[in-house]
Each structure stands twice: as C-alpha cells, then as structure tokens.
Amino acid sequence: MTRTSILVIALIAFAALGLIGSPASADNSTFLASQGGQTLSFDDIDQAVAKVPEADRVGFINSPKRIQALILSLLLQKQLAADAVKSGVVMTPEIESAKGADKIQLLAKAQMDHFRDNIKIPDLSALAQEEYIAHKEKYVAPANFDVQQVFVSTESRTNAEAKVIADDVEQQAKSGKIEFDALVAKYSDEPSKAQTLGIIKNAGKRAVQGDLATAVDALLTPGSISPPVETASGYYVLKLLARLPQRQMSFDDAREQILESLKGEYVKKAIADYVDTLRNNPLDADQDKINSLRTRYGIMPTLPPSAGKSSATATSKPAPVAADH
C-alpha cells in the first residue's frame, strides 16, 4: 500500500467522526508531512484553509479527498519553490515582497515558467515525416475561394438608400456592361478599396462568415454575382473570382503545422514528467498528527445512534501512515 493510499485511510478515519470548525491551539511548526526534502506543518495547512471561503470551509476540511489533495498540492508547491531558488529564477519585486504561502505560490509559478522556457526541443523533422506518412488523411487543405466585393455602408445613409445602391450594383454587374473593378471604385465604401480593389484572397470561412459565407457558397462558377447581402454595417455585393477545391497537402505544405503540434506535445510531456518526478518523491506523513486534525479543527462527534461500536472502533484506528516498502 502506498503512502498516499494510507494517507487517505487516515483522513477518512478522522472525517467520519464529525464536522470541523476552527483550529485548536497547537504548535504550528509541528511536522505533518514531507516530500522531496520539503516539510509541511500545521501552519501551512492553517494558511491554506484560511483562504477557503468561510461558508465552504467545514465541507472542505471534512472531505478526506480534499485534504489529501491539499497536502499533496502544498508539498508540490514547496518542491517547486525550492527548485526555483536552485535554478536562479529571477526574484521579481512581487516575489521579494510576498510572505509565507503567497511567496511559495509565486516561486512555484515562476519555476514552472522557467522550466517551460528552458526546455530544449530536439530536431523533430524525422518524427514529423513519420506523422505525415502515418496520418496523411489529417493534412488536407480545405476548400477555399477568392472574392471581390462592393460594400455599401449604412453609416452615412439609411438602410433603404443603401439597399437601392446595392441593387443597382448587382444589376450593373450582372449586365456585363461595366467591369466589377469600376463598380468597386465608384460605389464601394470600403476604406482600403484603392489598394485592394475589394479583392479578398483565400477568403474561406476565416474571412467571410455568416450570411456572406452562405452567399459565396451559392456562387458556383467564377464570375458569378451575389444578390445584396445585408449585414449590421451595410450591404455587400460579391463576385466569385476563383473557387479552390479541397486538396491533399504535401509534406512541405503540412510541415510547419506538424512541427508545431509535435513541439507542443513535447513541451507538454516534459512538463508532466517534471511534475510527476516531484510528485513521486517518497512521501512521509505523521499518522498521529494527521489524526489530530479532527481535534485541531474542533470536530464534534456526530455518528448516528445506529452506528455500531465496532464501526466507531474501526474508524478510530487508521492504518499506519509511515509504512511504504
């Protein structure tokens, strides 16, 4: 049986005896548990419990699982804080001015940031090629399109006036008597029309959404003109310039996407392995002190009358915490 499992048994034992109130007097520096060269005292528990909203405090402390998680979390934070000092993490003014548990938390976060920033990522090119070959079907460029637009704003005119202009633009565009470029220059209120001529390359669903995307989907062949599309800011008349079908990406096309994903996975695993190493350090806990938490926080026995004597006896004798061989 692991130390963590035995710790849970001990916590269940004292929780079964009743509800928890405020801490009773005791030596706050008394050893409670240790891991990775860092020790936990009653004072550490008191500081953490004090941060729990008062209305939730009784339920929190009366939960063996939450107490277990708290103890393990505090020990992990202390180990991280110690590593921060060893690794020479920059002591910001915020860290320097913090005290007690707050300083430990800030140091722990700084260490995690420091560890993440200093992870050395190897060359993953070969692994990227293996990923592409094994899951080629994942790397497909979606269907895309190029469009040109005339935007008629309702900012300086009424909605009805804008609609009349947009209808006229549609009719002129469909007549073929005037180039769409000329319609953009004459009617569009788009600020950048002089530079872009209203053209949106590789629009896809990224640049054109909602009713505009629906209107483009209805344009099946290059040169097709949409009816005016109403939006919150005005009306759009769209011309389809090109429609690009979905296609299989080459490895060169997909390479950066794959590498970014692999790098993210590598960093995530490196962080998880580091944290697991700290969490798996030998855990030592004082069984008697853990049992004393029930009296420290003023537990009042609340066992139901039907509870047998054997049950009460069983909960008062939790398994030893120190054994883990």
Residue pLDDT, tens place only, 244-268: 888 999 999 999 999 999 999 999 9
More confident site: 292 or 194: 194
Say if residues 227 and 215 touch (Cβ distance below 8 Å).
Answer: yes
| pLDDT tops 80 at residue 28 | no
C-alpha closest to that of 286 among 90, 92, 26: 26
How would residue 9 be classed by pLDDT, with cut points 50, 70 and 90? very low
Half-sphere exposure of 233 (CA within 13 A, CB side): 7
CA distances from 104 to 31, 92, 99, 235 (A): 18, 13, 8, 57
Read off φ and ψ for residue 6, nearest 5 degrees: -70, -35
| pLDDT tops 90 at residue 12 | no
Q: What is the pLDDT of residues 189-248, one digit of tens each?
A: 999 999 999 998 888 756 666 788 888 888 889 999 999 999 999 999 999 999 888 899
More confident site: 69 or 205: 69
CA 258 to CA 247: how far, in whole Å? 17
CA distances from 174 to 169, 177, 227, 243 (A): 9, 8, 10, 19
Report helix, strand or coil for 224.
coil
CA 1 to CA 9: how far, in whole Å? 11
| pLDDT tops 70 at residue 117 | yes
| pLDDT tops 90 at residue 16 | no
pLDDT of residue 214: 85
pTM of this prediction exceeds 0.85: no
Give the N- to C-terminal CA distance of the chain in Å, as an integer: 8
Number of Cβ within a 10 Å radius of residue 256: 10
How would residue 306 be classed by pLDDT, with cut points 50, 70 and 90? very low
Q: Which residues on neighbouring strands pair with residue 39, listed in sequence order?
A: 34
pLDDT of residue 3: 52
The yes or no reply on domain 143-245 and CATH 3.10.50.40 is yes
Q: For the chain, what are the domain ranges?
A: 3-120+267-315, 143-245
Summarize the confidence of residues 66-82 as an average pLDDT. 92
Highest mean pLDDT among 164-173, 199-208, 294-303, 312-321: 164-173
CA 51 to CA 73: how far, in whole Å? 14
| pLDDT tops 70 at residue 314 | no
| pLDDT tops 90 at residue 152 | yes
Cα angle at 293 between 291 and 298, to 5 degrees? 125
Tell me the residue type at 91. M
